Amino acid sequence: MVFSSYLFIFLFLPIFLSLYQVTPAPWKNALILVASLAFYYYGDPAGTWVLLCSVVGNFAFGRCIAATRDRGDGDPAPSLASRRWLAGGIVFNLGVLAYFKYVGFLTRNIDAFGAWLGRPELVPVINAALPLGVSFFAFQGISYLIDVYRGTIGASRSLLQFATYKTLFPQLIAGPIVRYKDVADELQRRSVSETQRYEGTLRFVIGFCKKVLIADTVAMTADAIFRLPADQLTIGTAWLGVVAYSLQIYFDFSAYSDMAIGLGMLMGFRFPENFNYPYVSTSVREFWRRWHMTLSSWFRDYVYISLGGNRAGPVRTYANLLIVFALTGLWHGAAWTFVAWGLWHGLFLVIERVVDFERRRIPTVVRHAYVLLVVVFGWALFRADSFGHALAFARAMAGIGVHASQHPVAEFLDPLQAMSIAAGLVFSLPLYPWLRARLAPRAAGWVGAPAFASLFAIASAKVLSGAYSPFLYFRF
């Protein structure tokens, strides 16, 4: 069940919000837990058992870490026993993630290496079904255990509260990655004001419209061009395909985050922001401060800093950055193209540090152009099915070895798709907050409410016609 489906919009959500409104405060967490498990079970019945094991396992490891953390000799450092429980908890979460997401990738690569050595079928290839959202709830569990170990938060004493946190359906499938400390107080007591209801509804509607009217429409252009044989790509079609995909992945993923944050508000939770107009960045470093912000901060706090960060000299810093971004790429998918995509970004982050890029007096327009080129070429690698496919797009975008094609650019741009791409280009800029800041609150309501109500009606009609697609990050 996805947020942009008619089943969610017109059945699940109204029923849930109606029940939530009348449920007494002590029972609201139980209602959320039941609704979240039903939501997840509808999308992945088999994966529900993995989710429940993650809930119980992380709760138990958290309690064990907290119970053994005190050394008993006045030393504030965590005890050896606590460190062992932490290691066990991390292995537990990474084990779940590795088996379901990477075991097929690992066994296929071992087989390929065996074939190169003349030993084909060295190991049996294992293909495990990927549970929905496993990348997100595994990282969520690791952050919880590390924070308990560091003393940043106390371990939850209520399995109900912890299960509610782990299964919260707005952020369960594709984030944002909500840390326990972000919602610990709200799990115990929260309220929803009229302002929150309005802001939450508006945020959800914005995300819904971004997903249905922009992301799903430009996806048709991107998918059609990425299906073309390599020898039929031209400069125009290659650039159009990659620009369309750049808009698709941004509006698809940021739309999910908007909808999740809006749903959280309607339930009394404040989830962290996940996107902040990344395509206006003037450095790759800034791009990663604006793109998938909860993932970036997760890798910074739990991997980069643990590796030593920038405390051990420039060479070690550069190595740490490359390691982190290789892992970032691998987190997105079990394929070498994803690892290469992560290293592509890591390489430019290293270059920017070496040349002290952000302090150099470079015209802003040049900075923007540089970042967009890096990001867009990176998306070609991210979207491609193989390195050969990615290279074909890179060569076509650079105008190398292209020939006339029977597929003109106009073939992939009907008026609706052209309008959606234009809207995507405009609204990838911070136009909405700029306009909202310049309108009086009452005027913003008068203008915004009818406009978004109309867009919601159009998007709903499109959904009811059956024209919707799953969120891209469900695959990651």
In angstroms, rounded to a whole number, what is the distance separating the alpha carbons of residues 371 and 317?
Answer: 22
In angstroms, rounded to a whole number, what is the distance separating the alpha carbons of residues 220 and 218?
Answer: 5
Tokens at residue 60, please? 């138990």
pLDDT of residue 61: 97
Residue 211 has pLDDT above 80, yes or no: yes
Segment 185-195 shows an average pLDDT of 90
Return the top range by mean pLDDT from 1-5, 189-193, 347-351, 438-442: 347-351
Tokens at residue 178, please? 């909500």
Segment 326-340 shows an average pLDDT of 93
In angstroms, rounded to a whole number, what is the distance separating the alpha carbons of residues 423 and 205?
Answer: 17
pLDDT of residue 476: 59
What's the pLDDT tens digit per position in 35-55? 999 999 998 999 999 999 999
Is residue 218 within 8 A of residue 420, CB to CB? The reply is yes
Residue 269 has pLDDT above 90, yes or no: yes
- Which of 69, 92, 140, 146 lies closest to 306, judged by CA? 146
Is residue 128 within 8 A of residue 100, CB to CB? The reply is yes
pLDDT of residue 1: 73
pLDDT of residue 414: 85
Residue 162 has pLDDT above 90, yes or no: yes
pLDDT of residue 110: 83
Can you tell me which residue has the tokens 């808009």? 247
Residue 69 has pLDDT above 70, yes or no: yes
- Residues 6 or more apart from 68 whose CB is under 8 A from it? 79, 81, 82, 85
To the nearest whole percent, how much of the chain has pLDDT over 90? 63
pTM: 0.92
What does pLDDT average to over the chain? 89
Measuring CA to CA, how many Å separate 325 from each of 64, 77, 177, 205? 32, 30, 17, 33
Annotated catalytic residue 403: no
What's the pLDDT tens digit per position in 342-363? 999 999 999 999 988 878 888 9
Comparison of pLDDT for 26 and 452, the residue scoring more: 26
Report the C-alpha dihedral over residues 136, 139, 141, 145, rounded to 10 degrees: -160
**Confidence class of residue 72 from pLDDT cuts 50, 70 and 90?**
low
Residue 129 has pLDDT above 90, yes or no: no
Among the residues of 70-121, which ranges form H helices? Answer: 80-97, 103-116
Phi, psi of 283 (to 5 degrees): -160, 160
E strand intervals along 92-175: none
Is residue 304 within 8 A of residue 294, CB to CB? The reply is no
Q: How many CB atoms lie within 10 A of CB 16?
A: 22
Residue 442 has pLDDT above 60, yes or no: no
Segment 82-88 shows an average pLDDT of 94
Burial of 24 (0-12, 13-18, 19+ CB in 10 A): exposed
Active-site pick, 292, 332, 368, 389: 332
Tokens at residue 372, please? 């967009």
What's the pLDDT tens digit per position in 94-124? 999 999 998 888 888 888 777 777 777 777 7
Q: Which amino acid is at 77?
A: A
Comparison of pLDDT for 401 and 201, the residue scoring more: 201
**Confidence class of residue 441 from pLDDT cuts 50, 70 and 90?**
low
Residue 470 has pLDDT above 80, yes or no: no
Q: Write down the domain spans for the chain.
A: 6-190, 196-475
Segment 293-318 shows an average pLDDT of 91
**Confidence class of residue 78 from pLDDT cuts 50, 70 and 90?**
confident
pLDDT of residue 434: 76
**Confidence class of residue 66 from pLDDT cuts 50, 70 and 90?**
very high
pLDDT of residue 448: 61
3-class DSSP string for the chain? CCCCCHHHHHHHHHHHHHHHHHCCHHHHHHHHHHHHHHHHHHHCCCHHHHHHHHHHHHHHHHHHHHHHCCCCCCCCCCCHHHHHHHHHHHHHHHHHHHHHHHHHHHHHHHHHHHHHCCCCCCCCCCCCCCCCCHHHHHHHHHHHHHHHHHCCCCCCCCHHHHHHHHHCHHHHCCCCCCCHHHHHHHHHCCCCCHHHHHHHHHHHHHHHHHHHHHHHHHHHHHHHHHCCCHHHCCHHHHHHHHHHHHHHHHHHHHHHHHHHHHHHHHCCCCCCCCCCCHHHCCCHHHHHHHCCHHHHHHHHHHHHCCCCCCCCCHHHHHHHHHHHHHHHHHHHCCCHHHHHHHHHHHHHHHHHHHCCHHHCCCCHHHHHHHHHHHHHHHHHHHHCCCHHHHHHHHHHHCCCCCCCCCCCHHHHCCHHHHHHHHHHHHHCCCHHHHHHHHCCHHHHHHHHHHHHHHHHHHHHHHHHCCCCCCCHHHHC
Can you tell me which residue has the tokens 């075991």? 103
- Which of 348, 350, 356 lies closest to 377, judged by CA? 348
Taking CA 30 as the corner, what is the angle to CA 130 and CA 59, rounded to the nearest 5 degrees? 55
Residue 445 has pLDDT above 60, yes or no: no
Taking CA 273 as the corner, what is the angle to CA 201 and CA 258, rounded to the nearest 5 degrees? 35
To the nearest whole percent, how much of the chain has pLDDT over 70? 93
Residue 304 has pLDDT above 60, yes or no: yes
What's the pLDDT tens digit per position in 215-237? 999 999 999 999 988 888 889 89
Residue 443 has pLDDT above 70, yes or no: no
**Confidence class of residue 14 from pLDDT cuts 50, 70 and 90?**
very high
Residue 191 has pLDDT above 80, yes or no: yes
- Which of 210, 147, 140, 145 lies closest to 172, judged by CA? 140
Among the residues of 44-79, which ranges form H helices? Answer: 47-68
Residue 446 has pLDDT above 60, yes or no: no
Residue 373 has pLDDT above 90, yes or no: yes
- Which of 204, 172, 133, 206 lies closest to 32, judged by CA? 172
Can you tell me which residue has the tokens 């802001």? 199
